[in-house]
Amino acid sequence: MSKKALRKSNIREIFQSKARFFSILLIIFLGVCFYAGIKATGPDMINTADTYYKDKNLMDSKITSPIGVTQKDLDTIKKESYVKQAEGSYTVDIAEKKENNLMRLMSYNDSGKDKLNQPRVVEGRLPKKSGEIALDNRAEEMRKYHLGDTIILDDKEKQIKEKEYKVVGIVNSPMYIDQVSRGNTNIGKGSIDFFGIIPKTDFDLEHYTEIYVTYKNTTDLVSYSDDYKKAVEKNEKKIKSLLKPIATKRFNDLKQDSMNQINKGKTQLENGQKEIETAKNQLSDGKKQMEEQEKSFELAKSMGQPVPEEAEQSIEKAKKELKEQEEKLAKETTKLEEKQDELVEQEKNVADIDKLNYAFYDRDDNPAYSEYNDNADRISSIATVFPVFFFMIAALICLTTMTRMVDEKRGEIGTLKALGYSNGEIAQKFIIYATLASVIGSVLGLLLGFNIFPTVIFNAYGSLYNLPPVIITYYLSYSIQSIVVALLCTLLSSMIVLRVDLLSTPAVLMRPKAPKPGKRIWLEKIKWIWSKMNFNQKVTARNLFRYKQRMLMTVLGIAGCMAMIITGFGLKDSIGDIVDIQFSKIWHYDATVMYNPDATKEETKDYEKKRDELAIYDAHLALSQKTVEVTQKGYKKQEVVVDTPKDSSKLNEFITFNNRKTGEIYQLDDTGVIINEKLSKLYDLKEGDTLKIKASGDKVRNVKVKHIVENYAMHFIYMTPSYYEKIFEESPEYNVDLLTFNKEISEKQEEKLAEELMKTKKAINVSFTSQIGKAMDDTMGSLNIVVWVLIVSAAMLAFIVLYNLTNINISERIRELSTIKVLGFYDKEVTMYVYRENNILTLLGILLGCVLGKLLHGFVLQTAEVDMMMFPPDIHVISYVYSAALTVLFSLVVMFFMHRRLKKVDMIEALKSTE
């Protein structure tokens, strides 16, 4: 045989064993597609958002002050060398009259000078002149406003020059990337419905409400990266130190001006009091004179002396004048008292000036920005485990398939050796075969994986975020990893097996391998079982133990796929259960009212009266909420909310404290604190351990962990008021009111309730558990799409694994199957001869897969969880049923195809002797 003939033989091999070639190609394709696609999704999500932020020049920092920020502040920041751009901006929260929605109006300058936080136009255009507004796309989705509509503002504070605005555009903003939340406000119902962008010149404010800043050293850094966060933090420290003396002087000047006004007011008050005192004395003297005059008239009348009519009229006129003076004096006194109250309030405000400071915010302070990062991190976490396991199963099957191919070609290898071909020339067939299958499968897998998975998963989050379409990136690292692993699975495995055959002599190779000798199995020793088994059952049992390697490969292959399907369904269960457990089983309250810390006793009474008048709640509980940091050495810092109820005995009506594993219910007491389970995991805490916490501006405090309870969202420490006083050396400040409703209420009723409560000066924000749960449910629902991608991919792999293993099984035993067919077995009996073994191995694989699935599910949960969240670790029974049913279904489908193949077996050809 010439080298040309050998090359033809090599190429012909692909066409002669198309089923095997495509099964290897397909399994490599699936493995690479899944591995590269899932691995690329997290980075693609981050890259898409980062490109959008850079394109729209999203701010790095925002600087605000309760009394606004000045042009001087802006000029000072602009001069700094590390500052790329700084802009003053206006933001006002205001109501519109049509449906009483709350809007956040933001300034926009069409001159081209302002380049930060550029909106993205969805429809129409941006405002160009006074009286034009571009509206948040959420307003259109809520069917509130459309292009061409007119908005009428309810501007009681006179902060905006125009009262009516025409909608000229629908926009998105990089500052609000989510579809729902637009932040909170201290007016109306407490939450913003949508934002609007109007010309900068339409604002009638003395100072900017905020300054936005971008930095030069963040330009080339990726948003969300640690390097980016460190750079922003470093820059903010510089600006803080830069503005500190300016802020101090400004607040001192403001304090001095306020004190001068107060002193002036006090002088006016003293003068007024003197004038009123003089007027009172004059009024008193006038009354005395009138009384004496009246007495003299009465005496004259009693003595029969006539009193002139003019004199009586004069008395009546004097009385009237005195009454008018008295009323005027009363009004002046009331004005004076009001002025006095005003001065007291001004003095209180002056005292508060010392507390004023510039506040610094970065992108992470935007909940939607941080939440998007958490979602991308979850995908990346899943991608660290699931694709690797997926690839391991694919590698196992490829190894088995290529090993079988080399075994089948023993005779051909021997013939070629006998004809004088070198080992390298003989190996070419297997190198070409394995390389082509691996490379073609890998390239197709990379093309599809990099495009399909990120797109499908990113689109799943489309209902949550208003970002541009995902930017597809082809990652060289994942591509190289995939191709190398694919070649290792096929090429290396075939070379290892081939090496043994190449060292053998042609005479040995040209004879088929002797079949494995039949051996007695352990089951035969159990006579009472063996004796009751029929012929087919005995053959099945012997064959299972005769081909131990095949049995192991089949069980492991099916178990691996089963484990991945269970993990997929288990993730769906865990994700779906969070909201229901957290907001029904653990939290029982319906609303949280945040208190104004500066509210007076009278304002507190007004709130309580209003709350009771609404008659919508069954119970309420005053709560102290304080944010602290856990500062355990050697661990990452975590923010934790310390909850201290005013009445500890009532807390269990609002929150259930139970041990997740034992179900035991706990009560708060004065000997320690209750913490959530995820917090205990992060810091390796057990009951009785000490936890170090630190509030802002306070020293480190030690608290004793009394109990660890079930909780899935955020971190909490619960303690009694007396334990709080012992730890913090002060009484708790009750700043929250929890409410449980006596009936279910609609979203509109919730908005009305919030609006009514916030009319009082005590309530500054009202949030509802139903809305928080809905937002969380939306986020978790989007993650379900990811889970379905995992389930479908694992199911496809399971089908190919079953097909490959069954195909190998039949190919290896074709002579045996032909023999029993010659002996008179019907087609169905021949199929069942093989499938009895397959059914048993499938069942064993399903059972082992259940155990592996539970372990893999737990491992994936541990890696997919973010610090502030815990997933319920339980898998529903029905998920095991679904996974097993899918595996059995694929087994039956494969059996159908194999049955058709066995019907067409050429018995004479299969039984020909190779001697």
Mean pLDDT of 769-788: 75
pLDDT at 629: 86
Which pLDDT tens digit goes with each residue over 417-434? 888 888 888 888 888 888
For residues 234 and 222, give the distance between their C-alpha atoms in angstroms, rounded to a whole number. Answer: 16
46 vs 48: CA distance, rounded Å: 6
Give pLDDT, residue 281. Answer: 74
Q: What is the pLDDT of residues 373-405, one digit of tens each?
A: 888 887 887 777 777 777 777 777 777 777 777
Q: Which residue has the higher pLDDT, 379 or 33?
A: 33
Mean pLDDT, rounded, for 616-624 = 87
Contact between residue 657 and residue 673 where contact means Cβ atoms under 8 Å apart: no
The radius of gyration of the chain from alpha carbons, rounded to an integer in Å, stands at 41
Residues 6+ apart with CB under 8 A from 841: 544, 551, 554, 555, 558
- DSSP symbols for 768-817: EHHHHHHHHHHHHHHHHHHHHHHHHHHHHHHHHHHHHHHHHHHHHTHHHH
- Residue 102's pLDDT band, with cuts at 50, 70 and 90, is confident
Give, for 221, the enclosing helix (H) or strand (E).
none
Q: Is the pLDDT of residue 300 over 70?
A: no
The pLDDT tens digits for 195-234 are 999 999 899 998 999 999 999 999 999 999 999 999 999 9
Better-scored residue on pLDDT, 830 or 880: 880
More confident residue, 487 or 345: 487
- Output the pLDDT for position 238: 92
Contact 402, 492 (CB under 8 A): no
In terms of pLDDT, which residue wins out, 905 or 601?
601
Q: Which of 447, 452, 435, 500 is nearest to 475 (CA)?
A: 447
Evaluate whether 596 touches 906 at the Cβ level (below 8 Å): no
Q: How many CB atoms lie within 10 A of CB 348?
A: 11
Q: What is the pLDDT of residue 531?
A: 76
Would you place residue 83 in the very low, low, confident or very high pLDDT band (cuts 50, 70, 90)? very high
**Nearest to residue 543, comparing CAs of 181, 817, 207?**
817
- The average pLDDT across 803-830 equals 75
pLDDT in tens, 446-480: 999 999 989 988 887 776 788 899 999 999 999 99
| Region label for 697, one of left (φ > 0), alpha (ψ between -120 and 50) or beta (otherwise) | left
**Separation CA 189–CA 183 (nearest Å):** 12
3-state secondary structure 407-451: HHCHHHHHHHHHCCCCHHHHHHHHHHHHHHHHHHHHHHHHHHHHH
Candidates 581, 649, 580, 641; CA nearest to 619 is 649
Residue with the larger pLDDT of the pair 670 and 348: 670
Enumerate the domain spans of the chain: 547-577+776-915, 579-775
Contact between 890 and 798 (Cβ < 8 Å): yes
Q: Judge contact between 326 and 283, C-beta under 8 A.
A: yes
- Higher per-residue pLDDT: 172 or 275: 172
Q: What is the mean pLDDT of the chain?
A: 83
pTM above 0.85, yes or no: no
**Confidence tier at 895 by pLDDT (50, 70, 90):** confident
Exposure string of 774-799, with b = 16+ CB inside 10 Å and e = fewer, is ebbbbbbebbebbbebbbebbbbbbb
Give the lowest-confidence range in 523-532, 839-848, 857-866, 880-889. Answer: 523-532
Q: Which of 35-39, 540-544, 729-733 has the lowest mean pLDDT?
A: 540-544
Place of tokens 């692993």: 485
3-class secondary structure per residue, 305-348? CCCCHHHHHHHHHHHHHHHHHHHHHHHHHHHHHHHHHHHHHHHH
Token output for 726: 């012992």
Share of the chain above pLDDT 70, in %: 91
Task: Using the Cα atoms of residue 6, residue 9, residue 11 and residue 17 in order, give the sign of their dihedral.
Answer: negative
Q: If you average pLDDT over each of 101-110, 184-193, 399-408, 702-711, which comes out highest?
A: 702-711
- Phi-psi domain of 124 (left: phi exceeds 0; alpha: psi -120 through 50; beta: other): left
Phi, psi of 209 (to 5 degrees): -85, -20
Check residue 528 and give its pLDDT: 78
Residue 114 above 60 pLDDT? no
In total, the chain counts a number of residues equal to: 915
Higher pLDDT, 468 or 748: 468
Q: Residue 915 — very low, low, confident or very high, per pLDDT cuts 50/70/90?
A: very low
In this structure, what token pair is assigned to residue 181? 């939340």
Q: Can you say whether residue 570 is alpha, beta or left, with left for phi > 0 and alpha for psi between -120 and 50 degrees?
A: alpha
